[in-house]
Chains A and B, each alone.
Chain A
Amino acid sequence: MDLTNSDRELTANVEELSGENIFSCYQCGKCSAGCPFTEEMDILPNQVIKKVQMGDGSVLDSDTPWTCASCLSCEVDCPKGNDVPAIMEAIREISLRKNLDRVDINKLETKGLPEIALVSNLRKKTG
């Protein structure tokens, strides 16, 4: 398969934002096996990485990076020592830096929510 320049750009962006070598992942699937939220995801964490390896821009439309709670379960399980949560964050950041916020604070039902939840959510889901 031939990668176009825009495919390569996605891969390079994720690598730059995450500080990770995306091609060190050999698709063993341990991140997905241990992830507590796969039932909520449209594609599995290892499939997200595969798409980034292939430069497949449809990864930016996936729910998975937004469902990821940065719980770091995959981070301690990855046999290659990859920081998978940082890769998820890089994908979120690509959208956030285009002003594509995932949550709109004006539409949120914030009553009763503690500040620790709001601050962390808005740091992860708004730019």
Chain B
Amino acid sequence: MRDITYYPGCSLKDTAKGFEASAVKVSEEMNVNLKELDRWNCCGTVYSLTDDNLMKQLGPIRNLIRARDEGSDKLYTLCSMCDNTLKRANLLVREEEDKRDKINSFMDQESDYEGSLEVRHYLEFLQDDLGWGEVRDRVEEPLEDLNVASYYGCMLTRPKDIGLDDPHNPTILGELVENLGGTPVDFPYESECCGSYNTVDNKEMVLNKTQTITAGARKSGADVLITSCPLCHFNLDSRQSDLLEVAPNHKPLPVLYFTQLMAVAFGYPKVNKFDEHAIDPKEVLKLENKVGSER
């Protein structure tokens, strides 16, 4: 079993439990142990864009220091927002010497950090460290006839200097779908923002995007949509319930974390906690008759 050091972030312990459970299970199947960082704090969710206030960088940087002190040279993430915030904070420390010095001199209890750690998203792990063959070899229930829209959102591919794929033409999720035996569908809104945190104080603005993105995916022939962001998941899945109240003719689209789709293909759909989803994916994934199965 290969250990990789893993930073879950808050959502995976609360609203995105199925994301974590499925990632742990599919990793196990590939002989990989997601070893959770012993002590971690919130990454801050959004990278601070204010040039003069370094306080907001301390949260993510402290996580990086703890991972380094545990002896890791890489820290793996699942949540797109954590991935983005940790990667950008790491880059700041690497590239801006004066800010790095200020941050290090401010922190009393931690030893200095120079950005030695590498932050990697689990998708990068699958593609580059394990290789798609390792994924393909574990598929027990190929996703035949399943059309999957890959939703990258913002934080996986932007900005360019930390993005894990081409921001204008990302392919990594589509490659995963192909290796699971499914069919990736071309989808015009794959990188269009869902409205993000505006869901708190401007729900209508987000509902417009919920409709555009999910109906757009449907129009492209998608049966389900996959994401790696718990906030996108909320805006695209839970917010579809709100959308259905004002647009009853909307045809709901199930929204899955990419690791949940892997768990389905590996033959372990039950770890996914689909009962916590607003739009139930079981019917379209043809899982309803398998409720009694051991997996």
Contact = CB atoms under 8 A, between A and B. Distances in A.
B283 interface: no
Contacts, number: 124
A76 B230 contact: no
A36 B192 contact: yes
Interface string B127-148: 0000000000000000000000
Contacts of B74: none
A116 B230 contact: yes
A71 interface: yes
A103 B201 contact: yes
Interface in B156-184: 158-160, 167-168
A73 B50 contact: no
A1 interface: no
B159 to A, nearest CB: 5
Among B11, B46, B48, B234, which residue has the most Cβ atoms of chain A within 10 A?
B46
A4 B192 CA distance: 40
Contacts of A16: 51-52
B14 interface: yes
Nearest to A102: B201
B168 A69 contact: no
Contacts of B254: none
A117 B81 CA distance: 11
A72 B154 contact: yes
Interface of A: 16-19, 36-37, 40, 67, 69-73, 75-76, 83, 85-86, 88-90, 93, 102-103, 108, 110, 112-125
Interface of B: 10-11, 14-15, 42, 44-46, 48-53, 56, 79, 81, 154, 158-160, 167-168, 191-193, 195-202, 205, 209, 230-231, 234, 238
Given A36-B209, A116-B234, A123-B56, 13 more contacts: A17-B51, A70-B196, A71-B193, A72-B158, A90-B51, A112-B238, A114-B14, A114-B234, A115-B15, A116-B231, A121-B201, A124-B46, A125-B201
